[in-house]
Structure 1
Amino acid sequence: MTDQAHHETTAPASVLIVDDSRVSGRKLAKAVTALGHRTELVSGGTEALGILGEMPFDIVLLDIVMPEMDGYAVLIAMKADVALREIPVIVVSSLDDEIESVARSIELGAEDFLPKNFEPAILRARMNASLARKRFRDRELDYLRDIDTLTEAAQVIEGGAFHPTELNLASVAARDDPLGRLAKIFRSLAEEIYDRERRADLTVRTLRGTLLVIAAGSIFGIAPALGRLASAREIPPLGLAFWSAVVAAILCLSFSIGRSGLPRLKLRDLRFLTLWALLLGCLYQLLTVVIAAHVEASLIAMIGSSRGFMVFLLAALLALERPSLQRFSGLGLGFAAVAVVLLVQGTGEDNDLLWIACALVLPFLLSLHTLLMSWRPRHLGAATTVGIMMALSALFLLPFAVAQNALFLPSLSFGQRELITLALGASTAAALVLALDLVVTAGPVFSSQMAYSQTLAGIAWGMLLLGERLSPLAWGALVFVIAGFWLVKPKRAGDDFRITLRMKGNG
């Protein structure tokens, strides 16, 4: 006999004894206990089925002749129950026609038969045989279930997107047999593939995020220069903010409707869109135009570089992203590069210190805007979201522009005022759509580096449109800004990240 087989016949078992006779029931319980097993004694069939539904048992010793519910009825009920049918039953009876009762019991699913006047050796032999078969069957069922689990895991991977935790292979991999080793290898390969795809996803996010940072920042950076041009031509700030919002709304909604049809706006979306409209579409747009009248565009762009640190701190405080020394270093590298340019360039005689201090409000508003975009309605596209937000901004600005007599009417001749308004609206629309995509792709902290590309773009736009001069040092700072991108890196895919493998033969 092997060690495993010996263990199966001698290991303690949980035994339920069903007998309406107190004397014979206790006699049987004493004999079973002497064999090293645990016993539970009940006096009727109904009570037996009740306790079987509450407690696990390895074997049942069942009397045939009982009032109300006899042993045959208990056998029928047990074999009809999926949870109980695998429990072996040895019937115990003193019926005169033992051959007939044994045959009927076996037909109903009993494992064996034991007379009332049993010999201890017969009891031990028949219980050990039944327990050995039961434990072998349990191992067989466990093995089949584990094979099903492994098969289902393969189907999950083959069928579509998956996450390693969905494979449910921990219990199978814990087996100390070839199936367990196969499950370990299978799980290890799945986790390796998953980790590789997450790293690839991070690389793609970094590349795409860097391009979006540069593109969105470059477009955003034109706003101070346009504001300064508007001030020089005495264009009312409120009127300019209103009409640029109208232009942005028309462009975004036209694109959105032409591509996806009318937006399906939900009532709860209005809270986000209203807050965003007040913060960015009204307050930021208006302050940019007003402050640009008193501060050079290139200096406003320089001050805007502080936005990266503001977003980093706010995101850490709000637990939107996990802070790290590497990210802090990346943000600091870009900030230091821009700060050097600012110190070398100086503030200039035309820049009032009070207005310079006011200009710090602009990066703070953009920091709130960056974090706010993390909660935008996901069922609305980026163009739709920006279009509705800018439409609300125009609606909010309209009464103030009328009250201040700042609501000018565009001229059909399309002069400089109309050109500035169109450029501000179009640049705002494009930059915001790109920024929304950037936050989704790379997270708010990485997106905050748009402040650096916006800074350098603002300097460039100031030079192109306003003739402001800047040393080549600013262009050298761009190298450090891009290096900072790679230190910060986009947010990693979350726990809900899933990958899809293309299997050969699936097209």
Structure 2
Amino acid sequence: MTVGSRILVVDDDALARRKLVLAVKALELAVEDLDGGDAALERLRQPGIDLVLLDIEMPGANGYDVLGALLAYPEDRRPPVIVVSSLDDPEEIARAIELGAVDFLPKSFNAVILRARINASLREAQRQEHDRRTLQQIKRLTAAAEALDGDERNPRELAIDDLAEQEGALGVLSRVLLNKSIMVYNRRLSQAHQIRTLSGILLLLFIGAAFGLKPAIAKLSLAEVQNPLSVACYTMGLSAVITTLYAVASKARPPKVSWRSVGFFTVLAFLTFLPQVLLFWVAETVPGVLIAILVSLESFLVFFIAAAIGLESLSLRRFVGLLFGVSGVGVLLLPFFDVENSTVHILWLFVTMLIPACFASETIMMSLSKAIDADLIAVVALIFGLSALVLFAATALKSGFVPLSIVPGKFEFSVIVFSLADSVAMIALAKLIDYAGPVFSGQKAYTVSIGGVLWSMLLLNEVVSPTSFAALLLILVGLYFVAKKAAVERLISRPAQASV
């Protein structure tokens, strides 16, 4: 006997219905009874009935109507039906079976036969339900295997953990599939992270060397012409040509043109060419080492502005980083407050700090805007192009152009080297952002500062004073604390074995 099963008796004859109810209760089964087909169909729309004992001849919806309606019910709401009727016509009995009845009993039934028929029907219904669930689980497992074969998704997204916790052959198969896929996924995840980290570090070093070269080149031969607008126009124009050629060759997707995007790129171009002009201006007076150290303030300013407008959270760790950065700047500037004995007027250093301020504003603007629907390479080329046009107009109206020699000399060669360094560094930075993300790319401040100091020492024969060295260390420590750590996708664990 199937314990806990609930039987529904449907018969308009109260005496016959009562007889069936008592017979079912004698089998220690739960029972409900109804006097018509309409009420039975309403009850069967709800779960909880495991077997129906159904009369055929009833007013309203008769037994055939109930059987026909049940065919449209979902399988999990369609319990087996045993027809209990006074009909003895084989055609009528066959009709009931064709409509889905699993068995037939006369109203003058034997209690022993009733028990056997009920038990057999319940066992068959349970077997069918088990087969149905097993088939659904096999379909889920097959779909999971096909998904794993088709892409590199996280195995936890397959939602077969419940299958892996079961006993039996299906549970074993699910655990094997899940364990193997997790092992492969974790290995791939670890390898990809190592490759991204190594490649990102190499790109960071390359970017630092390229960006760090700019102050040294600016001071070495470009600042001496004392026309920062013209020099910036030449370098920005050549950089625009180089990046545009690369964007075309790499088939970079251009941005969509709209009034919003035009305004956005105009402001962004201003924030791009202004620090270039400032660099050539301050390079006449400020040592390359100091320029390289002060330019690293970009990361602090980005975080400070982002925290002020709610884009970043100010934690204790990052606040300590800001204190280190401010301390480093203070140590660097302190000797220059002695105007009579300092080699550089303090105002020049404050002007130099406008360069990282422009870079920081440019970064924040990029993060806030949703107007860009283009590859970063295309964005870089467009910004360089707009900047070159603005600088060309400003140079023509104000300072005039520095004459260029047909045979490249020191000035022309410096323009080419500076433009190549600027273009290659920006292209590499765009690649790094696409490859490793903006958080990892934000660590370029370390390599740019160190690269700038080293280039100034190599090309300009500058010496890093103890004060500058201490300031550089404080700023680098501050950068470490302020930098936002890149989120690493965590490895996933294997499912537990089924309990025995």
Q: Report the TM-score, using the length of structure 1 for normalisation.
A: 0.76
| Residue aligning to 2:268 | 277
Q: Which amino acid aligns with 2:255?
A: L
Give the aligned partner of residue 179 of structure 1: 170
Give the counterpart of 1:446 among 419, 440, 443.
Answer: 440
1:393 aligns to what?
A: 387
**Aligned equivalent of 1:299:** 290
1:394 CA drift (Å): 2.9
Secondary structure of the structure 2 residue equivalent to 1:10: coil
* 411 and 179 in structure 1: CA distance in 2 versus 1, 3 angstrom threshold: same
The 1:214/1:122 distance shift into structure 2, 3 A limit, reads: same
After superposing the two structures, state which structure 1 stretch, 61-70 or 387-396, moved more: 61-70
Q: Is the 8 A contact 1:442 1:491 kept in 2?
A: no
Structure 1 position 158 matched with structure 2 position 152? no
Matches within 5 A, 1:65-214: 65-67=57-59, 69-79=61-71, 83=75, 87-97=79-89, 99-116=90-107, 118=109, 122-214=113-205
Any idea what the Cα deviations from partners look like across 1:348-395, whole Å, max 9, x if unmatched? 933222332343343344345456666789974443221112123334
1:433 paired to 2:420:
no
8 Å CA contact 1:63, 1:71 repeated in 2 = yes
| Whole-Å separation in 2 of the counterparts to 1:314 and 1:260 | 34
Q: Distance in 2 between matches of 1:470 and 1:240?
A: 27
Aligned to 2:240: 249
- 1:359 alignment partner AA: T
Q: Which range is displaced more, 369-378 or 431-440?
A: 369-378
- In structure 2, C-alpha distance between the alignment counterparts of 1:442 and 1:39, rounded to whole Å: 66
Q: Which moved more, 1:72-81 or 1:124-133?
A: 72-81
Moved more, 171-180 or 83-92: 83-92
Q: In the alignment, what sits opposite 1:505?
A: none
- Give the corresponding residue for 2:342: 349
TM-superposed CA distance for 1:110, in Å, is: 1.3
- Cα distance in 2 between the residues matched to 1:321 and 1:371: 11
Deviation of the 1:201 alpha carbon: 1.8
Question: Paired residue for 2:497?
Answer: none
AA in 2 matched with 1:356: L
Q: Distance in 2 between matches of 1:377 and 1:204?
A: 32
- 1:3 maps to which residue? none
In 2, the alpha carbon distance for the partners of 1:119 and 1:434 equals: 89
Q: 1:279, 1:369 within 8 Å by CA — same for their partners in 2?
A: no
Counterpart-to-counterpart distance in 2, 1:382 and 1:301: 25
| 2-structure distance, mates of 1:425, 1:211 | 21
> What displacement does 1:208 show?
0.9
Q: CA deviation at 1:308?
A: 4.2
SS in 1 for 2:52: strand
CA 1:33–1:311 in structure 2 vs 1: closer, same or farther (change >3 Å)? farther
Q: In the alignment, residue 408 of structure 1 is paired with which amino acid? A: F
- The DSSP-based 3-state class of the residue aligned with 2:256 is coil
**Aligned-partner Cα distance in 2 for 1:318–1:199:** 36
Q: Structure 2-normalised TM-score?
A: 0.77
SS in 1 for 2:105: strand
Corresponding letter in the other structure for 1:154:
A
Deviation of residue 16 (structure 1)? Answer: 4.7
SS in 2 for 1:114: strand
Given that 1:79 and 1:85 are in contact with CA atoms closer than 8 Å, whether structure 2 keeps it comes out as no
- Residues 308, 445 of structure 1: 8 Å contact kept: no
From the superposition, tell whether residues 286 and 184 of structure 1 become closer, same or farther in structure 2 (CA, over 3 Å).
same
Match of residue 498 from structure 2: none
User: Is the 1:301–1:455 Cα contact (8 Å) retained in structure 2?
Assistant: yes
Cα gap change, 1:16 to 1:24, in 2 (>3 Å):
same
- Superposed CA offset, 1:455-476 (max 9, x none): 12212332344342337997xx
Which one of the candidate residues 422, 438, 452 is aligned to 1:458? 452
1:230 maps to what in 2?
222
1:107 and 1:323 mapped to 2: Cα distance? Answer: 74
The 1:446–1:265 alpha-carbon spacing in structure 2 relative to 1, beyond 3 Å, is: closer
CA distance in 2, matches of 1:289, 1:434: 23
Shift of 1:24: 5.3
Distance 1:400 1:50 in 2: 84
Secondary structure (helix, strand or coil) at the match of 1:351 reads coil
Query: Is the contact made by 2:272 and 2:362 (CA closer than 8 Å) also made in structure 1?
Result: no
* d(CA) in 2 for partners of 1:401, 1:358: 21
Q: Structure 1 residue 366 and structure 2 residue 341: aligned?
A: no
Q: How many residues are matched? A: 478
Name the CA shift for 1:451/1:38 in 2 (closer, same or farther; >3 Å). farther
| In 2, Cα distance between equivalents of 1:319 and 1:267 | 29
Check the 8 A contact 1:206/1:490 in 2, yes or no.
no
Spell out, residue by residue over 1:1-32, the C-alpha distance to the aligned partner (whole angstroms, 9 max, x if none): xxxxx6xx11233x555545567557656765
Which residue is equivalent to 1:502?
none
- Counterparts in 2 of 1:21 and 1:243: CA distance versus 1, 3 Å: farther
Name the CA distance, whole Å, in 1 between partners of 2:158 and 2:289.
Answer: 55
Structure 2 residue runs of 5 or longer lacking an equivalent are 493-500
CA 1:451/1:66 → structure 2, altered by over 3 Å: closer, same or farther?
A: same
The amino acid of 2:420's aligned partner reads A
**Compared CA separation, residues 246 and 58, structure 1 to 2 (3 A):** farther
| Cα 1:259/1:443, change in 2 over 3 Å | closer
Name the CA shift for 1:409/1:291 in 2 (closer, same or farther; >3 Å): closer
When the two chains are superposed, the root-mean-square deviation of aligned CA atoms in Å is: 4.5
Question: Which shows bigger deviation, 107-116 or 462-471?
Answer: 462-471
Deviation larger for 187-196 or 313-322: 313-322
Could you tell me whether the CA contact under 8 Å between 2:203 and 2:428 is conserved in 1?
A: yes
CA contact (8 A) 1:305 1:335 kept: no
Q: 1:116 deviation in Å?
A: 3.9
SS at match of 2:462: coil
Identity of aligned residues (%): 33
Unmatched 5+ residue regions in structure 1? 1-5, 499-507
Whether contact under 8 Å (2:9, 2:32) holds in the other structure is: yes
Look up the match of 2:54. 62
Over 3 Å counting, the alpha-carbon distance change for 1:290 and 1:167 in structure 2 is same
Q: Judging changes above 3 Å, is the alpha-carbon distance between structure 1 residues 470 and 191 closer, same or farther for their aligned structure 2 residues?
A: same
Q: Secondary structure at the match of 2:279?
A: helix
2: CA distance, partners of 1:358 / 1:312: 20
Post-superposition Cα deviations, 1:124-146, rounded to whole Å, max 9, x if no partner, equal 44333222211122112212222
Q: Deviations over 1:422-459 (max 9, x none)?
A: 33333222111111222233333332321121112212
| Structure-2 residue corresponding to 1:265 | 255
Please tell me whether the aligned partners of residues 261 and 372 of structure 2 are also in contact (alpha carbons under 8 angstroms).
no
Distance 1:100 1:318, change over 3 A: farther
Q: CA deviation at 1:102?
A: 2.7
